Amino acid sequence: MPQISVALLSSGSLLMVVASSLSDHVVRRRSRRVPRGAAERSPSLYELAYLAGGVRRVVVTALAALARAGAVRFDTDGHVQAVAAGGREDAIEADIIYRLSSRDGWRTVTELCTEMLENAAITTLAERLTRQKLLLPATYRPPAWSQRFLRISISIAGAAAVISILARHPLSAVPAVIAVGIGAVAWRRGIRRSKVPLTNAGHYVLANTLTRHRQGEILGMADVSVALMGSSGFINPEVRRGLKIAEAFPVDNAEDSWTWKPTQTPPRDYVGGSGNQFGGLPPGAGLI
């Protein structure tokens, strides 16, 4: 095959992969649009925790609140034990205390998280977030056509690279190899983001809350820090000082949960775009 034909095939595959990667990103973002006003929700502490990290983040946040109240304690291996039984008004906290009290000795946080998967209060919380358009419904699936287009583009780029090498035109294979790399990154990125079941409004609510939290505008700073950032929230000395759990606090890593990547909203004088492109949400609502 002539070198110019091989070069055109390789360059064309690069353009195709770039186009399919961009279209997949845009289509995925638009599929998470919600009605105007959804970003104005003000979730409770445990609703924020569920949005940011699922069931495990809710349990971790509740344990932080209970530790601060002196109702539970941790050992150096990350086990937890109830110190005071009963007396909790919140249904999630009350259930945690009940489960810890019903078993003698210590239990791991992972065991507790597994038991709390079927907690009625957490299930109701998730249903409420879905109705408020902050959490995607369980039936949500990203558009399939853009994924297929991306896969086909990557395959064509791979074939172009092989053809270039077999035709003994290695320099012509460079654009095709670059295209395969770009496509693979876009594919993995799309899969990773699909594991976080938030609408664009849900992302904005979390980002806006984190921004206000870091500006000192939200009460209950220690609890909010844990809800939004999990165990990494203890980097702040003020948080650690109030909870008195030091290095024994559990780390967020469980298959039944996801992890929202902490992101702040743009400054108030931000003029980089219009909220209309995100379904009427303020700037920053499309942070996915």
Per-residue pLDDT reduced to its tens digit, 156-190: 988 988 888 888 888 888 888 999 999 999 888 88
**What are the tokens at 167?**
């035709």
Q: Cα separation of 281 and 204, whole Å?
A: 8
The larger pLDDT score, comparing residue 273 to residue 217, is at: 217
Per-residue pLDDT reduced to its tens digit, 237-288: 555 555 555 444 554 444 446 777 777 776 554 333 333 333 333 333 333 3
The whole-number pLDDT of residue 252 equals 46
Per-residue pLDDT reduced to its tens digit, 84-99: 776 778 899 988 888 8
DSSP string, 108-156: EHHHHHHHGGG-HHHHHHHHHHHHTTSB--TT----HHHHHHHHHHHHH
The whole-number pLDDT of residue 247 equals 46
Half-sphere CA count of 182, side-chain side, radius 13 A: 21
Closest by alpha carbon to 82, among 118, 112, 110?
112
**What are the tokens at 148?**
């297929």
Q: How many CB atoms lie within 10 A of CB 248?
A: 16
Closest by alpha carbon to 223, among 97, 50, 68, 43?
68
The larger pLDDT score, comparing residue 227 to residue 267, is at: 227
Amino acid (1-letter code) at residue 5: S
**What are the tokens at 220?**
């209950």
Per-residue pLDDT reduced to its tens digit, 56-79: 889 888 888 888 788 888 776 667
Per-residue pLDDT reduced to its tens digit, 34-51: 766 666 777 889 999 999
